[in-house]
């Protein structure tokens, strides 16, 4: 079915707006979830005063950050100081564009649950993540503050080191599905439910654990949060930022967390497919099908966010030399070994020409 | 659509390259180089080389330029001082550059009849096509290049190692 350009543009614009609004709401409520959960882990309540169960807390925090005075210190290098939070948040929001959220349901020939369906979706996510580090690096440099600079240096070195392990860990998944398109990667895992997910059926659990650790380091989250280690660097790269500029870094961090959760879900846990596979027949009603696929996707991403916060509340921070040693001497060799073993088994199963 | 994108990003690419030379602060030059690399990626994409475009962003804009900015931040390099340039560059450089440009133009114009034509957005080289070429048709050059890079890595490690 051919769609007119105007309809395509309008539907795409609507999709972008809906996804960005939902993503920003999800970011706000991930912050609340984190405060609640870390509170429970530390044997206290967390926010509970604003609204029932503290549910209105994120809105109040947002309003507070909006209304605060936006200080720009004297000695900063202004163009980059202003550009840095924009780069950070922009990259965090951009990579969600290639994530498919649900089954391939089309309305007037336009894919409803994905903004852009591209052949190299996985590479685009990797590319945007690798560019996102400029937000942190430039903020630290332009702040003209030694703590910020140290935080930015740590962030650059850490992201460069762990990006290798992250990329290598995904090769096994790509080998199994033979495609870089995220929908294809999910379709390979959709036949027998839980048993054909890459994590279980594809025997990619080693790759998954490497991906998880490398992704935590990429998003600068505990136990890899050295760029903002408050006991050593005040607040790290965003020491000199206030008001909305600080909030943009904050949103970028949580946006990246959600993207990592989405990618882990898509690559290792079957995306929007149900864990029961063909045990229950697939509903023929398109609306029911879209709700079910959205439900499974959101539930899986939620589990990853929960894990993120759980890890943050439990593990202490790495020492710097441990961080580098762990990345280069442990994760990368294991990732390479995983590629060798996976390609060996895939080669065994292929028919000889 | 394709032509408009091409004009925008080709202009951005040239502007970034000029800015790279004209800026006096190393970090601004490095950022201009990032702009050049990223707009090159878009030009690759317009020609249908999607894998190459992604690799360009990941490797050049992402990894290599992060190392550039890392080094600039680490050394905290200040503004460059303007110099008059070496005399050799004026005497040999400009005529040499002009001669090279003339030679390239001459060869290009004299052979332009035999070149094929590539229209923007006409052809799509998938990752599959690229891997087929790299790992089957051009396997030997590919492997030799990888050995060369391995030797370079070992050389870097040997140079960076502390003396015992």
Domain boundaries along the sequence of chain A: 5-349
Omega of the bond leading into A223 within 30 degrees of 0 (cis): yes
d(CA A99, CA A183): 9
Contact B27 A130 (CB under 8 A): no
Report yes or no on B90 lying in a domain. no
pLDDT level of residue B99 (50, 70, 90 thresholds): very high
- What is the CA angle B70-A91-A255, rounded to 5? 115
Look at residue B144 in the predicted model and tell me its pLDDT.
94
d(CA A291, CA A20): 19
- Answer whether A153 touches B (CB < 8 Å): yes
Does the model's ipTM exceed the 0.90 cut? no
H or E element that contains A107 = strand A106-107
d(CA A151, CA B159): 28
**How many CB atoms are located within 10 Å of the residue A171 CB?**
16
CB-based burial label for A88 (10 Å; 0-12, 13-18, 19+) = buried
- Answer whether A112 touches B (CB < 8 Å): no
The three-state secondary structure class of A110 is strand
d(CA A10, CA A107): 13
Report yes or no on B93 lying in a domain. no
pLDDT at B26 over 50: yes
Q: Which residues of B touch A119 (CB under 8 A)?
A: 50, 126-127
Look at residue A145 in the predicted model and tell me its pLDDT.
82
Compare all CA atoms of chain B with the CA of A153 and give the residue at the minimum distance. Answer: B70
Domain that holds residue B144: 126-164
pLDDT at B34 over 80: yes
d(CA B12, CA A260): 31
Q: Which residues of A touch B66 (CB under 8 A)?
A: 130, 133-134, 137, 156, 159-160
Long-range contacts of the stretch B124-133 (C-beta < 8 A, 24+): B124/B48, B124/B50, B125/B48, B125/B49, B125/B50, B125/B51, B125/B52, B126/A119, B126/B50, B126/B51, B127/A119, B127/A120, B127/A180, B127/B50, B127/B51, B130/B49, B130/B51, B130/B52
In Å, how far is B101's CA from the nearest CA of chain A?
34
Query: Same domain for B71 and B133?
Result: no
- Which among A127, A157, A167 has CB closest to B70? A157
Q: pLDDT tens digits, residue range A305-320?
A: 999 899 988 888 888 8
Q: In chain B, where does DSSP find H-type helix?
A: 2-22, 26-46, 50-55, 65-75, 87-88, 94-111, 127-132, 139-160
A141 within 8 A of A150, measured Cβ to Cβ = no
Report yes or no on B143 lying in a domain. yes
Look at residue B164 in the predicted model and tell me its pLDDT.
65
Query: Same domain for B3 and B63?
Result: yes
Look at residue A350 in the predicted model and tell me its pLDDT.
76
Report yes or no on B138 lying in a domain. yes
Contact B73 A123 (CB under 8 A): no
User: Structurally, how many domains does chain B consist of?
Assistant: 2
- Answer whether B129 touches A (CB < 8 Å): no
Look at residue B67 in the predicted model and tell me its pLDDT.
85
Q: Which residues of A touch B38 (CB under 8 A)?
A: 131
d(CA A169, CA A193): 22
Q: pLDDT tens digits, residue range A165-222?
A: 898 988 888 888 888 888 888 888 877 777 777 777 777 888 889 999 999 988 888 7
Non-local CB neighbours of A56 within 8 Å, separated by 6+ positions: A50
A123 within 8 A of A136, measured Cβ to Cβ = no
Selected residue with higher pLDDT from B77 and A203: A203
Look at residue B145 in the predicted model and tell me its pLDDT.
93
Q: pLDDT tens digits, residue range B100-141?
A: 999 999 988 888 777 777 677 667 778 888 888 888 888 999
**How many CB atoms are located within 10 Å of the residue A239 CB?**
23
- Residue A285: half-sphere exposure toward Cβ, Cα within 13 Å: 4
d(CA A86, CA A69): 18
Enumerate residue ranges in chain A where pLDDT < 50: 1
Report yes or no on B104 lying in a domain. no
Look at residue A1 in the predicted model and tell me its pLDDT.
46
Look at residue A109 in the predicted model and tell me its pLDDT.
66
Structure tokens at A112: 């409803």
Report yes or no on B106 lying in a domain. no
Query: Same domain for B7 and B74?
Result: yes
Report yes or no on B19 lying in a domain. yes
């Amino acid at each position: 079915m051919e769609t007119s350009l105007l309809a395509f543009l309008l539907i795409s614009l609507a999709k972008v707006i809906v996804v960005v609004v939902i993503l920003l709401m999800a970011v706000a409520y991930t912050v609340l979830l984190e405060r609640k959960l870390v509170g429970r882990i530390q044997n206290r309540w967390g926010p509970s005063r604003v609204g029932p169960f503290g549910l209105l807390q994120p809105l109040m925090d947002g309003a507070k950050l909006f209304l605060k005075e936006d200080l720009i210190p004297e000695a900063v290098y202004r163009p980059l100081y202003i550009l840095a939070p924009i780069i950070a948040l922009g990259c965090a929001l951009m990579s969600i564009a290639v994530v498919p959220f649900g089954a391939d349901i089309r309305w007037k020939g336009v894919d409803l649950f994905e903004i852009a369906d591209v052949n190299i979706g996985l590479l685009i996510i990797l590319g945007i993540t690798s560019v996102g580090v400029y937000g942190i690096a430039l903020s630290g440099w332009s702040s003209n503050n030694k703590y910020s600079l140290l935080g930015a240096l740590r962030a650059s070195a850490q992201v460069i080191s762990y990006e290798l392990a992250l990329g290598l860990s995904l090769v096994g998944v790509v080998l199994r599905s033979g495609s870089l398109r995220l929908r294809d990667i999910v379709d390979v895992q959709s036949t027998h439910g839980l048993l054909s997910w890459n994590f279980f059926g594809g025997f990619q659990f080693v790759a998954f654990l490497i991906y998880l650790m490398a992704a935590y380091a990429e998003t600068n989250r505990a136990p890899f949060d050295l760029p903002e280690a408050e006991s050593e660097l005040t607040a790290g790269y965003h020491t000199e930022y206030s008001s909305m500029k600080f909030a943009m870094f904050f949103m970028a961090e949580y946006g990246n967390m959600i993207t990592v959760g989405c990618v882990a879900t898509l690559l290792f846990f079957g995306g929007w497919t149900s864990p029961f596979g063909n045990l229950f027949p697939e509903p023929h009603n398109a609306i029911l099908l879209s709700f079910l696929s959205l439900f499974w996707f959101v539930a899986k991403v939620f589990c990853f966010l929960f894990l993120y916060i759980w890890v943050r509340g439990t593990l202490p921070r790495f020492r710097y030399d441990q961080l580098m040693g762990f990345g280069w001497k442990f994760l990368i060799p294991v990732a390479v070994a995983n590629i060798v073993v996976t390609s060996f088994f895939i080669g065994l199963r292929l028919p000889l020409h | 659509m394709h032509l408009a994108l091409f004009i925008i990003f080709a202009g951005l690419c040239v502007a970034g390259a000029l800015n790279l030379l004209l800026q006096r602060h190393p970090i601004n030059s490095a950022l201009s180089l990032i702009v050049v690399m990223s707009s090159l990626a878009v030009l690759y994409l317009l020609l249908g080389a999607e894998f190459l475009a992604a690799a360009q962003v990941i490797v050049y804009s992402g990894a290599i330029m992060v190392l550039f900015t890392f080094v600039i931040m680490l050394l905290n390099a200040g503004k460059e001082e303007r110099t008059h340039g070496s005399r050799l560059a004026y005497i040999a450089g400009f005529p040499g550059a002009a001669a090279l440009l003339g030679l390239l133009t001459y060869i290009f114009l004299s052979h332009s009849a035999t070149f094929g034509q590539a229209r923007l957005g006409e052809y799509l080289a998938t990752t599959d096509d690229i891997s087929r070429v790299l790992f089957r048709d051009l396997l030997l050059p590919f492997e030799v290049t990888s050995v060369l890079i391995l030797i370079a890595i070992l050389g870097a490690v040997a140079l960076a190692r502390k003396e015992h």
